[in-house]
């Protein structure tokens, strides 16, 4: 059904010889894989699982989702993958922004960086599609915001840029890759998890930069297929807009709307996941957050990528009315806010800015600061101290900076938490820090974080309550598999809206079939099958790397506080996947789907009040 003609390319960039090898990308060789699926397949083929993650044998893969270049909402996400220097596992990290769309416009499906450059380099693709290697020595040490400004000045405001800040340059294991956001060009969309910035830094690639091509590549379908695709896309878009979260709450508040949901449930982390209900969580709730955004000229309805109907990104201005930070997500609000005992929106935005600017995962950094506070290095609520501590990551002579840029587990090791008596208060799995959901409440997250091949992945926990017809291992793999397919296709938020709507879920599957040239099908069950195939590849990679998932436990093993310290909401600790069947008692205090629906229904009313 796809028209014949030019096809997307698979490009291998050999950094040591500064040469480029191009071939045609054949999608049928990879089934319905895009994004995370392609990363899993390509790392299986090109990466030795036992390689040094920061060595020359670890390939760094940039790729787009299965639907990239189509009109499907939020399908323009970038996936970056490699063996993780943080977890030692296979890793894919993804972000919105301009980059994936630009890859398609340049006719690129996969760009794989091989070897290591001898000097700091910018890899640039010009408006004719030609790759060139530029000296980046003058930009070494530059933070992401001024670097992206320099790229806009050099190449114009249509440039797409993926860069590392000083944390990635210094091979910090929570180093991120910063991508500029559509419209604002702020470097606020980060492939943050798992240390992909450190891998890029190990290759001495300061940035991968692309001009808008003179003749953009377009994905073409024959007329009948294109007409069917458009009609099905209307069904999918309708489901996204009709969903209370993606159609009402998030367009007003962004993903920070999650504070209301987890705050009511008792799942919002407070003072290093203490398990206590967060007192007065409304201080960072949706109404306060939106009011504060608008108060000083900010905006809360920005699409981070072209064509997204959710429009959940934001532009936060400080008290002086000037831009402070953008793209502030729920995870950052929660982990740099209540988890540190901080309830000032401006303080949270300032912490987020340092993470984006230095190129660092705010999830791992937030948890690391919480451990420092728990250990008395800082005091809970000390926003100024937290800010200075984050800034110290670029100072090799500072007391904690070099440790902090290696993540929460490294900080816990440095403070000898395992040598102390009592529960181990460190929210980490496979060396990667927890996302902002207490697994004693939303236990599906705990299952996926224990068992998941990529550690405590913030997007892997969509089966957030017990599924009675599944064993714990089955539930974990179900949730992980659906997340794998999500990361092949689109952003997590519209994905949830689509897959919870039977008609839209089937429509999306058929859209995938149209792109594959199928006359009919596949059925909606293909998403689970597709995800399971990816999951099997990831588990197999990890097994070859010597990682055994049969004994998965959180940091510190059974001494971890999640297994021993009950949460107020459930009056129960987290039961391990190793413990077999879960106890009957102890469900979430509030049904998360009900809270999300209420948030959506109240969105219009609250918006009017603001």
Return the domain boundaries, the chain.
9-210
Sheet holding 131-135, edge to edge: 131-135, 121-125, 205-210, 160-163, 177-179, 189-191
Beta-carbon contacts of 249 under 8 Å, excluding residues fewer than 6 positions away, are 257, 286, 596, 599, 600, 603
Terminal Cα distance for the chain, rounded: 49
pLDDT of residue 551: 80
pLDDT of residue 581: 64
pLDDT at 258 over 60: yes
Identify whether the C-beta of residue 96 lies closer than 8 Å to the C-beta of residue 111: no
pLDDT at 525 over 80: yes
pLDDT of residue 590: 36
pLDDT of residue 593: 42
For residues 160-177, give the mean pLDDT.
98
Confidence band of 389 (pLDDT split at 50, 70, 90): very high
Residue with tokens 């179900």: 478
pLDDT of residue 596: 41
Confidence band of 462 (pLDDT split at 50, 70, 90): low
pLDDT at 470 over 80: no
Identify whether the C-beta of residue 169 lies closer than 8 Å to the C-beta of residue 140: yes
DSSP 279: T
Other Cβ atoms closer than 10 A to 152: 15
pLDDT one-digit tens code per residue, 107-140? 999 999 999 999 999 999 999 999 999 999 999 9
pLDDT one-digit tens code per residue, 391-444? 999 999 999 999 999 999 999 999 999 999 999 999 999 999 999 999 999 888
Q: Which residue has the higher pLDDT, 574 or 62?
A: 62
Q: Are strands 205-210 and 121-125 parallel, antiparallel or unpaired?
A: parallel
pLDDT at 323 over 50: yes
Joined together, the tokens standing for residue 87 give: 């977890």
Per DSSP, the residues of 219-271 read: --B-HHHHHHHHHHHHHHHHHHHHSIIIIIIHHHHGGGGHHHHHHHHT-S--T
Report CA torsion sign: 597, 601, 602, 603.
Answer: positive
Beta-carbon contacts of 376 under 8 Å, excluding residues fewer than 6 positions away, are none
pLDDT of residue 256: 84
pLDDT of residue 465: 55
Other Cβ atoms closer than 10 A to 385: 16
User: By percentage, how much of the chain surpasses pLDDT 70?
Assistant: 93
pLDDT at 154 over 50: yes
Which candidate, 317, 304, 186, 190, places its Cα nearest to that of 254?
Answer: 304
Of the spans 547-551, 566-570, 600-604, which averages the highest pLDDT?
566-570
pLDDT of residue 591: 39
β-bridge mates for residue 79, sequence order: 63, 94
pLDDT of residue 598: 47
For residues 557-572, give the mean pLDDT.
94
Mean pLDDT of the chain: 91
Per DSSP, the residues of 458-500 read: TT---S-S--TTS-HHHHHHHHHHHHHHHHHHS-HHHHHHHHT
Per DSSP, the residues of 578-593 read: GG-SPPSS---SS-HH
Identify whether the C-beta of residue 480 lies closer than 8 Å to the C-beta of residue 552: no
How far is Cα 554 from Cα 449, in angstroms, rounded to an integer? 8
Identify whether the C-beta of residue 249 lies closer than 8 Å to the C-beta of residue 598: no
Element (H, E) at 531: helix 526-544
pLDDT of residue 585: 37
Identify whether the C-beta of residue 238 lies closer than 8 Å to the C-beta of residue 504: yes
Cβ density class 455-484: b for 16+ within 10 Å, e for less: bbbbbbbbbbebeeeeebbebbbbbbbbbb
Q: What length is written for the chain?
A: 610
How far is Cα 223 from Cα 404, in angstroms, rounded to an integer? 55
Other Cβ atoms closer than 10 A to 35: 30
Which candidate, 529, 534, 541, places its Cα nearest to that of 488?
Answer: 534
Identify whether the C-beta of residue 93 lies closer than 8 Å to the C-beta of residue 81: yes
pLDDT of residue 5: 47
For residues 365-387, give the mean pLDDT.
98
Q: Which residue has the higher pLDDT, 351 or 479?
A: 351
For residues 354-362, give the mean pLDDT.
98
For residues 302-327, give the mean pLDDT.
91
pLDDT of residue 407: 98
For residues 551-563, give the mean pLDDT.
93
pLDDT one-digit tens code per residue, 259-293? 999 999 999 999 999 999 999 999 999 888 888 88
523 by DSSP, 3-state: which? coil
How far is Cα 84 from Cα 199, in angstroms, rounded to an integer? 8
pLDDT of residue 600: 44
CATH architecture label of 9-210: 4-Layer Sandwich (3.60)
Beta-carbon contacts of 584 under 8 Å, excluding residues fewer than 6 positions away, are none
> Within 13 Å and on the Cβ side, how many CA atoms surround 180?
26
| Long-range contacts formed by 603-610: CB under 8 A, 24+ apart | 603/244, 603/248, 603/249, 603/251, 603/252, 603/253, 603/286, 604/248, 606/252, 606/286, 606/287, 606/290, 607/252, 607/290, 609/287, 610/287, 610/290, 610/291, 610/294
pLDDT of residue 582: 58
Confidence band of 597 (pLDDT split at 50, 70, 90): very low
């Amino acid at each position: 059904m796809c028209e014949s003609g030019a096809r997307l390319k698979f490009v291998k960039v050999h950094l040591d010889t500064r040469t480029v090898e191009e071939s045609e990308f054949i999608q049928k060789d990879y089934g319905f894989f895009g994004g995370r699926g392609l990363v899993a397949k390509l790392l299986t083929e090109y990466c030795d699982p036992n390689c040094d993650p920061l060595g020359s044998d670890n390939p760094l893969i940039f790729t787009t989702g299965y639907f990239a270049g189509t009109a499907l909402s939020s399908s323009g996400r970038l996936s970056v993958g490699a063996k993780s220097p943080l977890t030692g596992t296979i890793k894919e990290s993804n972000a919105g922004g301009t980059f994936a769309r630009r890859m398609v416009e340049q006719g690129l499906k996969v760009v794989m960086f091989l070897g290591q450059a001898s000097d700091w380099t910018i890899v640039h693709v010009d408006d004719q599609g030609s790759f060139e290697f530029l000296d980046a020595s003058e930009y070494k040490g530059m933070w992401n915001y001024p670097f992206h400004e320099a790229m806009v000045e050099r190449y114009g405001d249509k440039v797409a840029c993926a860069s590392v800040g000083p944390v990635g340059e210094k091979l910090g294991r929570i180093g991120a890759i910063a991508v500029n956001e559509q419209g604002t060009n702020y470097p606020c969309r980060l492939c943050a998890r798992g240390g992909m910035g450190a891998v890029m830094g190990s290759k001495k690639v300061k940035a991968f930069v692309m001009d808008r091509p003179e003749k953009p590549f377009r994905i073409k379908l024959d007329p009948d297929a294109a007409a069917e695709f458009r009609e099905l896309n209307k069904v999918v878009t309708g489901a996204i807009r009709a969903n209370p979260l993606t159609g009402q709450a998030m367009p007003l508040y962004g993903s920070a709307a999650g504070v209301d949901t987890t705050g009511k449930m008792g799942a919002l982390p407070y003072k290093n996941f203490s398990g206590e209900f967060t007192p007065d969580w409304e201080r960072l709730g949706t109404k306060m957050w939106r009011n504060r955004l608008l108060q000083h000229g900010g905006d809360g309805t920005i699409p981070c990528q072209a064509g997204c109907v959710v429009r959940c990104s934001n532009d936060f201005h400080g008290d002086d009315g000037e831009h402070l930070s953008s793209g502030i997500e729920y995870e950052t609000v929660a982990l740099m806010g209540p988890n540190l005992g901080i309830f000032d929106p401006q303080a949270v935005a300032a912490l987020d800015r340092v993470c984006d600017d230095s190129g660092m995962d705010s999830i791992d950094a937030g948890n690391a600061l919480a451990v420092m506070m728990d250990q008395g290095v800082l005091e809970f609520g000390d926003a100024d101290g937290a800010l200075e501590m984050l800034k110290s990551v670029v100072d090799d002579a500072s007391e904690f900076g070099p440790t902090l840029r290696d993540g929460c587990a490294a900080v816990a090791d440095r403070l000898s938490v395992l040598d102390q008596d009592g529960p181990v208060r460190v929210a980490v799995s496979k060396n990667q820090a927890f996302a902002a959901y207490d697994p004693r409440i939303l236990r599906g997250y705990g299952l996926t974080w224990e068992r998941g091949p990529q550690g405590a992945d913030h997007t892997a926990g969509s089966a957030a309550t017990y599924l009675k017809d599944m064993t714990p291992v089955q539930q974990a793999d179900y949730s992980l598999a659906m997340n794998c397919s999500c990361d092949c296709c689109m952003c997590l938020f519209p994905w949830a809206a689509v897959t919870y709507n039977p008609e839209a879920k089937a429509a999306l599957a058929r859209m995938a079939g149209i792109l594959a040239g199928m006359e009919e099908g596949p059925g909606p069950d293909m998403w689970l099958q597709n995800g399971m195939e990816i999951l099997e590849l990831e588990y197999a990679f990890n097994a070859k790397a010597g990682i055994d998932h049969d004994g998965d436990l959180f940091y510190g093993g059974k001494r971890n506080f999640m297994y021993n310290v009950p949460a107020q909401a459930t009056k129960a600790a987290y039961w391990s996947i190793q413990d077999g069947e879960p106890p009957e008692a102890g469900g979430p205090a509030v049904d998360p789907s009900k809270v999300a629906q209420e948030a959506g229904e109240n969105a219009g009313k609250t918006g009017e009040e603001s």
